[in-house]
C-alpha cells in the first residue's frame, strides 16, 4: 500500500516521494504543455522557468509532442546552466512527432528508442528522471513496450518509468511486466481536478495498491476554476478559451453555464481559506494522499508565484465538504471516461 511521504525544505515548497521510489519531487511541478513553443515566445518561457526555480520548483514536465518537439527544446535551453542533480526532468512518448510518418507515433520499440534520443538532445541532458507513456498503445504488444522502456532504463537514459491516462487494468498489467523486467513503474499522469474526478473510483485504488502515485494535470480545469469565466458572458480577451492553437478546444467541455455558475460558488470558500480560487484548486488536488504533484503551467512569471502559494496548504474538512456541496451536480466521476477519452488506435 502506497503512503505519500512529504518533506519540506523551507521556502514554502514541499517535496513528496514519487510512488514507492526514493525520488523526491516538488509537489508543485512546472509543466509546459500549450505554452512553450506555442503560446509563449522563448524569452517569456524562460522567465516563467526562472520564476519556477526561484520559488522552489525543482520538477519540470514536458513531452515530445508539445509544439511538435519545440517545447522540449525551449525547456532545455531555459534550464541550461542549472545543476542537473538538483532537477527532476520528465518527458513523454506516444503522440506523433516530426513529419508524422508511420513509425513516428505509438509505443513500438522503434519509436521509443528513437524518441528518447531526440528528447535527450532537445532537453540538453544525458537522462530524464521519468519517462512516461503518454497514452496506451493498442497496436503494440505491451510486452514490447515495457521491454523497450526497460532497455531505456538500463542504458541510463531514464531513471524511472511512468504512464499517462492509462486505465486501472492497463496500469496493473504494465506494472506486472515492469516488475518482471526489474524496472520501476512509479507514476500515473491523469487529468484531475475538483470538476474531473474520474480517477478516484479505479485508478487511484490500484495505484495505492501497487505503489504508484499521481502527477495530475489540469488541476485548475484549464483555468475554469480560477473563476474568470462567468456564465452568460464572453470569455476574457486573451484567455485560453479564446486561443485557437488548442486551448479553446481543450477547455470547451468545461465552458457550460451550469458549470461556470457552480464554480462561482467557490469564491467564498477560497476567501475563507485565504486563497485565490486558483490556489484553492491546486491545494484541493494535493489533499488526495495518492497525488504526489500538481502540474501547473504559466504564461507569466506572476502566475508561477501565485500557484506555488498552494504548496503546503492543508484544507480542513469543512472546506472540503463545502467544495463538494458547491460543485456536486457538475462533477464528472465516471471511471469509464479514462478509456472513453483515450485513442483507440495510433494517430498519425
Catalytic residue among 17, 30, 66, 192: 66
327 belongs to a structural domain: yes
Q: What is the pLDDT of residue 245?
A: 63
Residue with cell 517569456: 44
Q: What is the pLDDT of residue 247?
A: 66
283 belongs to a structural domain: yes
Whether the pTM exceeds 0.85: the reply is: yes
Residue with cell 520499440: 109
Take residue 190 and report the three cell numbers written for it: 491523469
36 belongs to a structural domain: yes
Which residues in the chain land under pLDDT 70? 1-11, 34-40, 238, 240-248, 348
- Euclidean distance between CA atoms 323 and 266, whole angstroms: 7
Take residue 300 and report the three cell numbers written for it: 507569466
Backbone angles phi, psi at 60, to 5 degrees: -130, 130
**Where in the sequence is the domain holding 149, given as residue range(s)?**
6-340
Q: What is the pLDDT of residue 165?
A: 98
- In contact, 311 and 219? CB cutoff 8 Å: no
Take residue 181 and report the three cell numbers written for it: 523486467
- Euclidean distance between CA atoms 259 and 215, whole angstroms: 25
Q: Sort strands 59-61 and 28-31 into parallel, antiparallel or unpaired.
A: parallel
Number of domains in the chain: 1
- Euclidean distance between CA atoms 17 and 34, whole angstroms: 27
Take residue 285 and report the three cell numbers written for it: 488536488
Q: What is the pLDDT of residue 9?
A: 41
109 belongs to a structural domain: yes
1 belongs to a structural domain: no
The total of other beta-carbon atoms located within 10 Å of residue 156's CB is 9
Q: What distances in angstroms separate CA 214 from CA 76, 152, 161, 207, 286, one per listed residue?
A: 24, 22, 13, 8, 10
216 belongs to a structural domain: yes
- In contact, 30 and 297? CB cutoff 8 Å: yes
345 belongs to a structural domain: no
Q: What is the pLDDT of residue 238?
A: 66
Q: Is 66 considered catalytic here?
A: yes
Q: What is the pLDDT of residue 252?
A: 83
CATH of the domain at 209: 3.20.20.100
346 belongs to a structural domain: no
Amino acid at each position: 500500500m502506497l503512503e505519500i511521504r512529504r518533506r519540506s525544505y523551507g521556502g514554502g515548497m514541499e517535496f513528496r516521494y514519487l510512488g514507492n521510489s526514493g525520488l523526491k519531487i516538488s509537489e508543485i511541478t512546472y509543466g509546459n504543455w500549450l505554452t512553450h513553443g506555442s503560446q509563449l515566445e522563448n524569452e517569456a518561457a524562460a522567465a516563467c522557468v526562472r520564476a519556477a526555480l526561484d520559488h522552489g520548483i525543482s520538477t519540470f514536465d514536458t513531452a515530445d509532442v508539445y509544439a511538435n518537439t519545440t517545447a522540449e527544446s525551449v525547456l532545455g535551453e531555459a534550464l541550461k546552466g542549472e545543476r542537473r542533480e538538483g532537477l527532476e526532468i520528465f518527458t513523454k512518448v506516444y503522440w506523433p512527432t516530426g513529419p508524422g510518418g508511420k513509425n513516428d507515433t505509438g509505443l513500438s520499440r522503434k519509436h521509443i528508442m528513437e524518441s528518447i534520443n531526440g528528447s535527450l538532445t532537445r532537453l540538453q541532458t544525458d537522462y530524464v528522471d521519468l519517462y512516461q507513456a503518454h497514452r496506451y498503445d493498442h497496436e503494440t504488444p505491451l510486452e514490447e513496450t515495457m521491454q523497450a522502456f526497460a532497455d531505456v532504463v538500463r542504458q541510463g537514459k531514464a531513471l524511472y518509468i511512468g504512464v499517462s491516462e492509462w486505465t486501472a487494468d492497463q496500469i496493473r498489467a504494465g506494472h506486472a511486466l515492469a516488475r518482471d523486467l526489474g524496472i520501476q513503474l512509479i507514476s500515473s499522469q491523469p487529468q484531475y481536478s475538483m470538476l474531473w474526478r474520474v480517477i478516484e473510483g479505479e485508478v487511484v485504488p490500484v495505484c495505492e495498491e501497487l505503489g504508484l502515485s499521481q502527477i495530475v494535470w489540469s488541476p485548475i480545469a484549464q483555468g475554469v476554476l480560477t473563476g474568470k469565466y462567468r456564465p452568460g458572458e464572453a470569455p476574457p480577451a486573451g484567455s485560453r478559451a479564446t486561443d485557437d492553437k488548442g486551448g479553446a478546444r481543450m477547455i470547451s467541455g468545461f465552458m457550460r453555464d451550469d458549470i461556470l455558475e457552480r464554480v462561482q460558488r467557490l469564491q467564498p470558500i477560497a476567501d475563507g481559506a485565504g486563497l485565490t480560487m486558483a490556489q484553492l484548486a491546486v491545494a484541493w488536488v494535493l489533499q488526495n494522499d495518492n497525488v504526489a504533484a500538481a502540474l501547473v503551467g504559466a504564461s507569466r512569471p506572476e502566475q508561477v508565484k501565485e500557484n506555488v502559494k498552494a504548496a503546503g496548504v492543508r484544507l480542513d474538512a469543512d472546506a472540503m465538504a463545502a467544495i463538494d456541496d458547491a460543485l456536486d451536480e457538475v462533477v464528472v466521476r465516471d471511471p469509464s471516461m479514462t478509456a472513453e477519452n483515450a485513442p483507440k488506435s495510433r494517430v498519425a
